[in-house]
């Protein structure tokens, strides 16, 4: 208990009492301060500890799945169905979206199958409106070579659309005498056998706003597809020759993949008008073999390869996406798309495509 000075005593007699009180006060204050500071220090230490635990935990999770975010190894094999421990495999090669690049994701899948000797059959899963003439022809060539080099059973499963260039690449799965090789789902859109070089004439709009094309060119045909000038008859004849050549190639590929049309070319000529067909119409006209889903196409591949469903592992492939790519997709400038669209509109590029707007088409490798 703190002693209090007695006011009735002289000052010198009260001095000891004051000194005692002074010695006791700091102790009380010290205890109070320590009691106030300790909770804050404890909270700070706990906060830092939680931060480091979360940080290192997050790093561990990323490292555990780093192979997904690392695309340096290309595509990855994924289990689809069947016997996960089986040695023999049936590979699914997916062709999805517009076919604009012959050296892209589809080619990676083909190379992976070509190098994997345990793959005994292939199912082509096609969901595509087509694409560039060169890209479609290159993928057809690669798939055909894969089938012939490895003597692999190859069956096509058409998704929502397998038209134009999508139908073109399906011809790599050549029709066999005793087995059909092309399956279309009941709602599949196919056909669109033909070639297009898009051209847009903006001269009327430019005239309305008093704008003229004053380009300096090296020759009279340098601006054949320019939307800022009227196409001349000479330019149109040049481009028509190019289209006819690509169209002839398309029909030759169909005749090779569907021998019926080699024997009856007039039937193919009647179908190759650019018209799209339903699955039923395509089956009736010999463009596809059967109406069925992926499972039926898989069963056909197993039957052709004399494989037991319980003794094979069905696999597919996926392409990992890096974190930088994810960020890049979100930050892609709109101007890049606009420039590409403008260049496509003015470039003499032909398409096996079921649309006249190739610049709006896109390819999309599957992601997990």
Q: Is 164 a catalytic residue?
A: yes
Which two three-digit tokens encode residue 39? 């909770």
Q: Is 222 a catalytic residue?
A: yes
DSSP string for residues in 241-291: HHHHHHHHHHHHHHHHH-HHHHH-HHHHHHH-SS-EEEHHHHHHTTSSSEE
Q: pLDDT (tens digit, 9 = 90+) per residue, 10-46? A: 555 555 555 555 555 555 444 444 555 556 666 666 7
- When the pLDDT of each residue in the chain is averaged and rounded to a whole number, the result is 81
Residue 354's pLDDT band, with cuts at 50, 70 and 90, is confident
Mean pLDDT, residues 311-319 taken together: 93
In contact, 44 and 53? CB cutoff 8 Å = no
What's residue 308's pLDDT? 94
The Cα 221–Cα 232 span in angstroms is 9
The Cα 153–Cα 303 span in angstroms is 9
Which residues lie across from 78 on neighbouring strands?
A: 316
What's residue 249's pLDDT? 98
What's residue 199's pLDDT? 86
Strands 189-191 and 154-163: parallel
Rg (CA), the chain: 36
Mean pLDDT, residues 93-104 taken together: 88
What pTM does this model have? 0.74
Q: pLDDT (tens digit, 9 = 90+) per residue, 169-222? A: 999 999 987 889 999 999 999 999 999 998 888 989 988 998 888 889 898 888
What's residue 227's pLDDT? 86
Which residues lie across from 191 on neighbouring strands?
A: 163, 276
Q: Of 164, 192, 226, 251, which one is the catalytic site residue?
A: 164
Where is average pLDDT lowest: 52-56, 91-95, 193-197, 231-235? Answer: 52-56
Identify the three-state secondary structure at position 192.
Answer: coil
The Cα 118–Cα 312 span in angstroms is 10
The Cα angle at residue 248 between residues 246 and 252, in degrees rounded to 5: 115
Backbone dihedral angles phi then psi of residue 128, each to the nearest 5 degrees: -150, 140
Among residues 164, 158, 163, 122, which one has the least CA distance to residue 142?
122
Q: Of 222, 232, 245, 322, which one is the catalytic site residue?
A: 222
């Amino acid at each position: 208990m703190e002693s209090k000075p007695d006011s009735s005593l002289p000052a010198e007699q009260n001095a000891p009492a004051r000194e005692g009180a002074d010695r006791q006060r700091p102790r009380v204050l010290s205890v109070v301060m320590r009691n106030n500071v300790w909770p804050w220090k404890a909270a700070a230490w706990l906060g830092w500890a939680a931060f480091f635990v979360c940080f290192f935990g997050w790093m561990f999770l990323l490292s555990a799945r780093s192979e997904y975010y690392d695309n340096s190894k290309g595509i990855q094999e994924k289990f689809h169905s069947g016997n996960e421990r089986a040695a023999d495999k049936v590979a699914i090669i997916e062709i999805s979206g517009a076919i604009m690049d012959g050296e892209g994701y589809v080619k990676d899948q083909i190379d992976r199958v070509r190098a994997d000797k345990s793959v005994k059959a292939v199912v082509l899963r096609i969901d595509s409106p087509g694409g560039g003439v060169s890209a479609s022809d290159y993928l057809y060539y690669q798939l055909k070579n894969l089938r012939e080099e490895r003597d692999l059973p190859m069956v096509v499963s058409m998704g929502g659309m397998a038209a134009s260039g999508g139908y073109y690449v399906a011809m790599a799965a050549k029709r066999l005498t005793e087995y059909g090789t092309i399956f279309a789902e009941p709602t599949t859109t196919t056909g669109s056998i033909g070639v297009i070089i898009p051209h847009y004439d903006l001269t009327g709009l430019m005239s309305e706003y008093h704008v003229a094309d004053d380009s300096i060119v090296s020759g009279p045909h340098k601006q054949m597809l320019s939307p800022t000038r009227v196409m001349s008859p000479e330019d149109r004849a040049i481009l028509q020759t190019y289209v006819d050549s690509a169209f002839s190639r398309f029909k030759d590929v169909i005749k090779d993949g569907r021998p019926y049309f080699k024997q009856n070319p007039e039937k193919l000529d009647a179908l190759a008008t650019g018209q799209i067909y339903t699955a039923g119409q395509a089956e009736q006209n010999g463009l596809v073999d059967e109406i069925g889903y992926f499972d039926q196409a898989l069963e056909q591949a197993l039957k052709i390869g004399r494989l037991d469903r319980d003794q094979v592992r069905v696999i597919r492939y996926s392409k990992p996406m890096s974190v930088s790519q994810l960020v890049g997709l979100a930050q892609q400038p709109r101007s890049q798309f606009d420039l590409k669209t403008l260049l496509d509109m003015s470039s003499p590029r032909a398409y096996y495509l079921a649309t006249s707007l190739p610049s709006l088409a896109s390819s999309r490798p599957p992601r997990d």
